[in-house]
Amino acid sequence: MEDASHVTLAEGRSVRLDPKASGATFVVRGFRVGAAFHWEHAEDLRFTGGIDLVAADDGLDLVNEVPLERYVESVICSEMSPTSPEASLRAHAIISRSWMLAQLAAPRSAARPKEPVTDGPLVRRILWYDRQDHDGFDVCADDHCQRYQGVTRAVGGAPAEAVRATRGLALVHGGEVCDARFSKCCGGATEVFSTCWGDEDRPYLQAFADRPGDGFVPLDDEGRARAHVLGDPHAWCNTADRTLLEHILPTIDHGTRDFWRWTVTLTQEEARELVRTRSGIDTGPIRALTPLRRGPSGRISLLEIEGRDRTLHLGKELEIRRVLSTTHLYSSAFVVSPEGTGNTPDRFVLRGAGWGHGVGLCQIGAAVMAAHGHDHEAILAHYYRGATLEPLYS
């Protein structure tokens, strides 16, 4: 590493920088925000705390060491707008803190196959992506984990007060800190852990309709899933209040407006090329896209892509979204309508619900609950059923 006069200050595969001045910051220029998602862009972000520069196989890793409470303040300002209702900011501070503590306590997951498994003309590609995929640091700074954009987003005011008011508080179930997942918009029904990640579910991450009351019927049946996706059910996250959404969503999400219900049309050529380039499997012309397994929110966890030459069984939730888009589909809660004549459709129309995996807290639903007068405890009780709120430190 050299300074401006080209004098070597340090060298090696890892260099540690510790600021001496109080309040010192550093800027990372051209930081990729929303990597691989439709909102990806480059931005200059400012951080505080210590930093390690670590040589990696594909470039340089920048590892920022920061106190947990400061990290949480940045996350809630990065994930949601700082003008969100107070109760939703407090709820998000608690779940972001809980999620991080749960990840730090969790062992590294077992290795998952990165290559497709072939059985004659059938290929199985079942993948999921989690915090344990990272080496050399605890969590990443982007949507793969939870957004952390340093002091660029930590603006003080209401978010800082939300963190101070909830300091040390975490969601706990069975004596363990909850793995408090969250997504942008559940689309009217929340999902279970096993649809998106490993096969072991969390008792506090349940599937239910995102509205007051009980009576939820799982949407894992194709008919019920289709009715839900093509319908317009009452839900906390079903809001057309653009003023409220402007206050809830951070600036980078303002351009995404059709997340409650959405439509994507893929021509035969587009669908085949996406599958080939994104999965590495050339199925030949695609005859059908058939959900083989859905979670209780209607999200597909196993999709059959029937081609003339090969059939691909694809999962889990995020891998389906990734393969059928140049970035990611909003969610895997979609139904397929093939169009055209003959055995090979001309196009596939995907009609979907929600934005994200749908597990745990629905960020838009939580903010709407707050806007209707619910406090953070009521919001957390709605989305993390059976969990309790406990102080872990003061």
C-alpha to C-alpha distances, 302 to 1, 170, 219, 223, 315, nearest whole angstrom? 48, 33, 15, 17, 5
| pLDDT confidence bin for 330, thresholds 50/70/90 | very high
Range of the domain at 232: 222-353
Q: Is residue 110 part of a domain?
A: no
Establish if 335 belongs to a structural domain.
Answer: yes
This prediction's pTM: 0.88
255 assigned to some structural domain: yes
Count of domains for the chain: 1
Spatial separation of the C-alpha atoms in residues 186 and 192, rounded to whole Å: 11
Classify residue 333: in a domain, yes or no: yes
Q: Do the domain assignments include residue 313?
A: yes
pLDDT digits (tens, 9 = 90+) for 238-291: 998 888 888 877 655 545 678 899 999 999 999 999 999 999 999 999 999 999
- Please write the tens of the pLDDT for every residue from 115-150: 788 888 999 999 988 765 566 677 776 656 787 767
CA distance 314 to 317: 9
Query: Would you say residue 122 lies in a domain?
Result: no
Answer with the residue of higher pLDDT: 170 or 252. 170
pLDDT of residue 367: 94
Structure tokens at 112: 């998952």
The mean pLDDT of 293-303, rounded to a whole number, is: 98
Residue 177 placed within a domain: no
Which of 85, 138, 157, 125 has the alpha carbon at shortest distance from 318? 125
187-208 residue pLDDT tens: 999 999 999 999 999 999 999 9
Percent of the chain, pLDDT > 90?
Answer: 59
